[in-house]
């Protein structure tokens, strides 16, 4: 019988639901303002521009950035990563990254290798998806210009040693880029105390904003080494046909996703009021409940660190004798539980944990609005699927 309820456990892809304030802000902008950001001096555009500037300031405060202009708005985390990679690398450069990084890093680097001959070294990970900082140190070369590492993997949720890797990168004279797609808004990040030059994150995941929003943080001085990828209208210095060098205009050509950024401002306000620490504690408790329940189910294999302190709210599993995509379909159609199955655009992680050849894993990921009852339902459903699979296997034995 088809499921009538909906339990959303795909927050690693995009958080849902959003805070009510986000829906209200987007609706208000679309119905009442509707003006472009930084284009004009009439009341509606001034009001919209002020909201987006507040968004920039709040994200800077949330991340511990030096100032608001260090926060560049993009259209998603992939857009931010492409700006960081394509904008900073030149012919003859060498990059160190890891096999647990997302295709949003690996594919731009592959393209840069094809076009410019950029050399890339991928550091290996252990069976939990964690990298060793010393492996990055051994991989450095005299021409290493950039080290890139995901803050937490989107498959196992494993938190990577970014502080240690950043120190190693800087000692080698390289910039350090962090992909915070799974950590911004989930973990406290204080850039004043971290050796990080560039941070990319989406607005629609842990920051709880709408899709079509992203952020790139640029440490002071790095902009001189980072080319803009798009040139065009900024609403400033319109008399000049040369792209402005000041931030954020250097990297924000064309109209912004105004309604998305207005929604993001409301989301970050809600997030700040609740506190990232409180949200992290909530999600960690849910992951602990999920891990405790899943490891007790015969036929279910759980991947990643056993300690909740070593991961974010992402848990990947397999069911013996069952294709991951089939498990996800049953969870949705029979139990009303929405998850994601497959390789999750991160094939290297699956190679590291040994699930690549079998089609990946089933990923369950929590968010601020996930409840303990949701987790109990997911554990019960996984138990029923695993038991049914074992009964069918026994009948054919």
Residues taking part in catalysis: 345
Q: Could you give the CA distance from residue 155 to residue 211 in angstroms, rounded to a whole number? A: 21
Q: How many helices (H) and strands (E) does the chain have?
A: 11, 13
CA 361 to chain centre: 18
CB 157 within 8 A of CB 314: yes
β-pairing, 337-338 with 7-8? parallel
CB 204 within 8 A of CB 78: no
Please state whether 275 falls in left (phi above 0), alpha (psi between -120 and 50) or beta: left
- DSSP designation for 205: S
CB 308 within 8 A of CB 394: no
Q: Could you give the CA distance from residue 325 to residue 381 in angstroms, rounded to a whole number? A: 15
Phi, psi of 191 (to 5 degrees): -65, -20
Sign of the CA dihedral running 88, 94, 96, 98: positive
Classified as helix, coil or strand, 212 is: coil
Cβ neighbours of residue 14 closer than 8 Å, sequence gap 6 or more: 202, 204, 205, 211
Strand order in the sheet with 361-365: 300-303, 314-319, 361-365, 340-342
Both tokens of residue 139? 């991989």
Q: Could you give the CA distance from residue 58 to residue 185 in angstroms, rounded to a whole number? A: 12
DSSP notation for 143-171: TEEEEEEESB-TTT-BBP-HHHHHHHHHH
Classified as helix, coil or strand, 362 is: strand
């Amino acid at each position: 019988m088809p499921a009538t309820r909906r339990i959303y456990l795909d927050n690693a892809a995009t958080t849902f639901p959003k805070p009510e304030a986000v829906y209200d802000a987007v609706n208000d902008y679309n119905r009442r303002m509707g003006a472009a950001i930084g284009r004009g001096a009439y009341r509606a555009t001034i009001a919209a521009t002020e909201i987006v500037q507040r968004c920039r300031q709040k994200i800077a405060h949330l991340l511990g950035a030096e100032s608001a202009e260090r926060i560049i708005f993009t259209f998603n985390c992939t857009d931010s990563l492409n700006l960081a990679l394509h904008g900073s690398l030149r012919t003859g450069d060498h990059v160190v990254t890891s096999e647990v990084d997302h295709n949003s890093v690996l594919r731009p680097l592959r393209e840069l290798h094809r076009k410019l001959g950029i050399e890339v070294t991928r550091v290996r990970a252990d069976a939990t998806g964690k990298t060793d900082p010393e492996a990055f140190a051994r991989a450095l070369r005299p021409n290493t210009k950039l080290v890139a590492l995901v803050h937490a993997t989107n498959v196992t949720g494993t938190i990577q040693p970014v502080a240690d890797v950043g120190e190693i990168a800087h000692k080698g004279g390289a910039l350090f880029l962090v992909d915070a797609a799974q950590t911004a808004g989930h973990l406290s990040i204080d850039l004043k105390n971290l050796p990080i030059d560039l941070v990319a994150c989406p607005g629609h995941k842990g920051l709880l904003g709408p899709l079509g929003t992203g952020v790139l943080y640029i440490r002071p001085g790095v902009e001189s080494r980072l080319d803009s990828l798009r040139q065009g209208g900024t609403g400033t210095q319109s008399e000049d046909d040369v792209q402005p060098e000041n931030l954020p205009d250097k990297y924000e050509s064309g109209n912004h996703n105004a309604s998305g950024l207005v929604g993001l401002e409301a989301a970050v306000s809600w997030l700040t009021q609740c506190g990232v620490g409180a949200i992290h504690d909530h999600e960690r408790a849910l992951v602990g409940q999920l891990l405790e329940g899943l490891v007790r189910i015969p036929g279910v294999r759980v991947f990643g660190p056993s300690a909740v302190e070593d991961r974010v709210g992402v848990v990947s599993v397999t069911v013996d004798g069952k294709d991951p995509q089939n498990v996800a379909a049953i969870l949705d159609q029979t139990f009303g539980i929405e998850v994601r199955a497959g390789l999750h655009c991160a094939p290297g992680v699956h190679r590291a944990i040994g699930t690549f050849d079998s089609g990946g894993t089933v990923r369950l990921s929590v968010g601020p609005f996930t409840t303990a009852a949701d987790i109990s339902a997911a554990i019960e459903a996984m138990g029923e699927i695993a038991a049914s699979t074992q009964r069918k296997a026994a009948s054919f034995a």
